[in-house]
Chain A
Amino acid sequence: MSFPLLTATAALPALGAVATAAVPAARRTAAKWLALVVSLATLALAVVVLVRFDPDGARYQLTESHAWISDFGVRWELGVDGIAVALVALTALLVPFIVLAGWHDADPLETGSRRWRPTQGFFALILAVEAMVIVSFEATDVFVFYIFFEAMLIPMYFLIGGFGDRAHEHGEKAAATQRSYAAVKFLLYNLVGGLLMLAAVIGLYVVAGNFSLTEIAEARANGSLHMATDTERWLFLGFFFAFAVKAPLWPLHTWLPNAMQESTAPVAVLITAVVDKVGTFAMLRYCLQLFPEASKWATPVILVLALISIIYGALLAVGQRDIKRLVAYASISHFGFIVMGIFAMTSQGQSGATLYMVNHGISTAALMLVAGFLISRRGSRLIADYGGVQKVAPVLAGTFLIGGLATLSLPGLAPFVSEFLVLVGTFTRHPAIGVIATFGIVLAALYTLVLYQRTMTGPVKPEVSAMPDLRVRELLVVAPLIVLLIFLGVYPKPVTDIVNPAVKQTMSDVHKKDPKPEVEAAK
């Protein structure tokens, strides 16, 4: 038996989480270093997966299959296609930066704090989330996927509710109340989605008799597993609802601004750049593969919801007074683009959506982590409390601007490629929707540049006049992300080459072909 590479990519951070949690209370720094080393080792394993993966090979590769709960036919089945590989790589890439950026976020406020080893807990929880997210991407057994999709809510709940920004405009007590509200709201929304999905998972088992994604999908494709139209639609809705909460899609989005606002910047990145991606990933993998007819049936409604998310999220971002809420609403707008790309049912739309997930992860990480560095210096999340930062901390301002330019999809940076692919992929099938979505590019420029103008330009506010520029640790976080944004902006081929064959498969699952151009001028 060959080395279980995929299991290892998840087991390593899981064991790392346990080990980090077990570090004695006094050795906080050791716990941080342990978490960082484990996350880097996981990244190394993910790189091995990336190298071993053959884009032109079988659909699912590096597969593993072991009996697990044999009574229900649940098997520990893992395997990755190009889409999953890209997202595993994104997750493994971002976590070391999240750890490094959050280096001091969980330091106890005073020595001898009565709280239970918060530092160890913080980093252990991050690694636990990483492990669960990776399993969600790698699982090819619907039940295994469900378990981890739901289980990651627990560590996320503690990360949101237990660790917030140091300073808060209404004092520590109010902060704790708001944090716990945000954490509960996060949990409630996702839990309701999860329960509906559980019902659909059971329903699927009743219909199909097993949980294996590959077996069910094959049976669906060759016609040996027939589903009544209504059954398929109900099951689809059960799955889709859970994913639409997690993605999140309008009008199920309101938990995200609360969660991102109240958690520390690295945790906010973990939510929006990593955990939420499981939702959009699962739409592409589970909804489209298992329920192709129902997916097509629901497409018009989903496209409209995605379009509303794009415009509505962007307009709300314009109206925010809180930096982190602004980024959260911007993310809602971006998730609208991703969902639109998936349900455009074109290869440009779906490859673009997958690339969008990767690029959005990197660009949001860059913007949000720098925002976190800014907030930690001044102790406020309110945009109005800043002004003229560019003068005192030019490097911080410069990196913030680049993060912002990536968020508004400036050509030359990575998000432009994915956004344009999604737009063009949508436009070829639904011109009106594609044109309206294009308004999103104006609004994105508006919220980003207004944010930059209000915080970074103008006369220096007295409160920011002594603000130090980025430190070495912070530069180590931001610089590689910026390099990646530029690299993938001019050369996205490494990602698209991996993703394209998987998207082609998905397109054939839903029996869709790209619309032909009117004139074949390219030949």
Chain B
Amino acid sequence: MENLIALLIAAPLLGAAVLLVGGRRLDAVGHWIGTFLSAASFVFGLILFADLLGKDAEHRTLTQHLWTWISVGGFQADVTFRLDQLSMTFVLLITGVGSLIHLYSVGYMEHDERRRRFFGYLNLFLAAMLLLVLADNYLLLYVGWEGVGLASYLLIGFWQHKPSAATAAKKAFLVNRVGDMGLSIAIMLMFTTFGSFAFGPVLSHTGDTSEGKLTAIGLMLLLAACGKSAQVPLQSWLGDAMEGPTPVSALIHAATMVTAGVYLIVRSGAIFNAAPDAQLAVTVVGAVTLLFGAIVGCAKDDIKKALAGSTMSQIGYMVLAAGLGPIGYVFAIMHLVTHGFFKAGLFLGAGSVMHGMNDEVDMRKYGGLRKYMPVTFITFGLGYLAIIGFPGLSGFFSKDKIIEAAFAKGGTEGWILGGAALLGAAITAFYMTRVMLMTFFGEERWRDRPTRSPEEPSAEPAAAHQGGAASGHAAAATGEPHPHESPKIMTIPMVVLAVGSVFGGAFFSLGDRFLHWLEPVTGHSEGDSPLSAATVTGATMVCLVVGVAIAWAQYGRKPVPALAPRGSLLTRAARRDLYQDDFNHVVLVRGGEHLTRSLVYVDHTLVDGVVNGTAAGFGGLSGRLRRLQNGFVRSYAVSMFGGAALLVAATLLMRAV
């Protein structure tokens, strides 16, 4: 059975190779090849899942060794896969949501002339992401880790004729590289400490080394996680990443890749458990990010950027939970899975809205769309209820558990972290209600108004429209939009994800199913909470109601202005992502430019000059030879002969002695 693990990765990898090398011939069928291979990987995943369920809880680990990758001295890296409950969960999420999004993209990208390449990149992403979660050692994980980064780079920049898309792609890769430094150093530390960086040897020997070493490793892993999962301080790339086509935002920048940091921390639980300082850092990063993302999400008028802020915030919850240790690991992953459903659904819904609105992304130009896009409205609405934690829906179960666990950390830390998580729940309810109201309710603000001004090029120009004839598209793009429901191939994946958003949490929580499933890998402990579970749930509900009510007061009761009001200081800051880019620009970009420019000058004048000058100093060799440029070879020969003559002299001297 374990031989099937490699096929999980091989199927989408084959797809990527065929689609990217195959050329124009495959344009007509490329998207179906990609979708089929993604679905095939999902089927392999289901077969393996059934196999694992057939074993006892303690023996649900399969390993497959393929070949020795690197072996130098004691440094040994193998291409070995490990499928246990944790990686199985990810495999099903990645291939399941991935296949749905492939299907959706068949419709969404229908009129893009580079659709084949798009599916090639999506397949490449799946293969890399599966490698990331199936690797049995940190170095192989690194390959998947950078592989998803590459796929993300290619897909954010998919419409690379747009300078903004190309810049966003580069930014994402660069910020992630800073995180990769952390992963590199963590692996090097593991090697010097344990002589290995495979999961088994490292995670089972954490007791044999000092807490200091483990804290260092943990902090470096956290740095890596911050990059990939867009956590403060490496969060700045995620908002810009929305330049990519919307299915990409749904799959990579919401449901799967950005959660890789959470996977890394939970997988390395044994290290963090023995390094409380590193754990504290993880919880702080999580708590700060969950508020940061939520605040940014409140101020954005671009529907995708509002959702991106939300993603950052929800991953903050997961990171917070992962930092709590065994109390939180299971719930971090549970929230990760439910979030995968509802956030992917929300993004696909946003894509569907844009599809019907000439690619308009500004929510101030939406309004009243529920009548025109009923399926999108209902599925998006269910996703909305799930994310704000409406009782009975997915988010209710998973988020509530995280808030409980945060309080259960105990002490002042517990109160602060739990308070932050509660506050985050209120803000989540606010910004999601805002998105919902601005998009589907209220006046139809798109009437009598062209959606695009000519000087502001469309965010998604290539995602042309189903229904609208390609020839009429150019005219429609500047005229009044005619909102319409998306075709079935797009709405079906949305419906499936909505079902997951509604029932996932309850299904996982019933009889603590998810807990029992993951516990053998992650361990679990009950904390000692100062508040009862019922109190926490009650408080969460109050927060939810308050958040919804404030949003209703602002965006439901009175009409939404077509132009954003100036807003409070906080709103303006949030609109600019709390000045993260301004900071980066001034400190890193400008500073870096000055540094490289002055170095270029130094290299040209100082280094070159000094070395040349020194050479000239040695008997004026340089200057004299330069004057002899044309006859240079002669002088070269003279030197050679001079050298040879010296050699003869030395030999004779030796003989004489």
Q: What residues make up the interface of A, taking CB atoms closer than 8 Å to B?
A: 71-72, 150, 153-154, 157, 180, 184, 187-189, 191-192, 195, 198-199, 201-202, 205-206, 209, 250-254, 312, 315-316, 318-320, 346-348, 351-352, 388, 390-391, 398, 405, 410-412, 416-417, 420-421, 423-424, 427-428, 431, 434-435, 438-439, 441-442, 445-446, 449-450, 453, 456-460, 490-493, 496, 500, 503, 514-522
Contact = CB atoms under 8 A, between A and B. Distances in A.
Contacts of A195: 639, 643
B70 interface: yes
A482 B399 CA distance: 47
Contact of B181 (A184, A352, A417, A441): A441
A496 B157 contact: no
A491 B611 contact: no
A199 B191 CA distance: 43
A316 B205 contact: no
Contact of B596 (A315, A491, A522): A315
A431 B189 CA distance: 9
A282 to B, nearest CB: 18
B63 interface: no
B160 A458 contact: yes
Nearest to A197: B643
Nearest to A185: B612
8 contacts: A319-B597, A348-B72, A351-B73, A416-B143, A423-B188, A457-B160, A458-B163, A491-B69
Contact of B76 (A417, A459, A522): A522
B157 A457 contact: yes
Given A252-B611, A441-B177, A490-B69, A188 B195 contact: no
A391 B639 contact: no
B174 A449 contact: yes
A199 B204 CA distance: 57
B181 A439 contact: yes
Given A154-B633, A420-B139, A520-B195, A254 B147 contact: no
Interface string B413-443: 0000000000000000000000000000000
Contacts of B592: 318
Secondary structure type dominating chain A contacts: helix
A434 B72 contact: no
Interface stretch (B83-91, B359-367, B645-653): B645-653
Contact of B194 (A154, A514, A517): A517
Secondary structure type dominating chain B contacts: helix
Sorted nearest first, the 7 A-B pairs with minimum C-beta distance are A517-B195, A319-B596, A347-B73, A457-B166, A521-B201, A521-B194, A457-B160
A34 B218 CA distance: 59
Given A319-B600, A320-B600, 14 more contacts: A188-B622, A202-B650, A254-B612, A427-B191, A428-B188, A434-B188, A449-B174, A493-B70, A514-B73, A514-B74, A515-B192, A517-B194, A520-B195, A521-B194
A439 B178 CA distance: 8
Contacts of A423: 184, 188
Given A348-B73, A442-B177, A427 B201 contact: no
A161 to B, nearest CB: 9
Contacts of A412: 143, 146-147
B185 interface: yes
Contacts of B646: 198-199, 202
B448 to A, nearest CB: 32
A396 to B, nearest CB: 14
Contacts of B68: 493
Contacts of B599: 312, 315-316, 319
Contact of B71 (A191, A458, A493): A493
A503 B75 CA distance: 14
A179 to B, nearest CB: 11
Given A388-B161, A460-B161, A410 B150 contact: yes
A519 B184 contact: no
Contacts of B163: 457-459
B608 A198 contact: no
Contacts of B470: none
Nearest to B615: A192
Given A254-B608, A315-B596, A519-B194, A411 B184 contact: no
Max count, chain A CB within 10 A of own CB: residue among B67, B70, B145: B70
Interface stretch (B27-35, B46-54, B483-491, B624-632): B624-632
Contacts of A184: 625-626, 629, 632
A317 to B, nearest CB: 9
Contacts of B184: 420, 423, 438, 441
Contact of B643 (A198, A251, A522): A198
Max count, chain A CB within 10 A of own CB: residue among B72, B181, B185, B612: B72
Contacts of B73: 346-348, 351, 500, 514
Contacts of A351: 72-73
A522 B647 CA distance: 54
Contacts of A460: 161
A522 B197 CA distance: 9
A263 B107 CA distance: 50
A449 to B, nearest CB: 5
A442 B597 contact: no
A449 B237 CA distance: 15
Contacts of B195: 516-517, 519-522
Contact of B607 (A180, A206, A251): A251
A421 B651 contact: no
A521 B196 contact: yes
B437 to A, nearest CB: 38
A503 B177 CA distance: 31
A517 B610 contact: no
Contact of A518 (B67, B209, B636, B650): B209
A459 B191 contact: no
Interface string B55-87: 000000000000111111111100100000000
Contacts of B595: 315
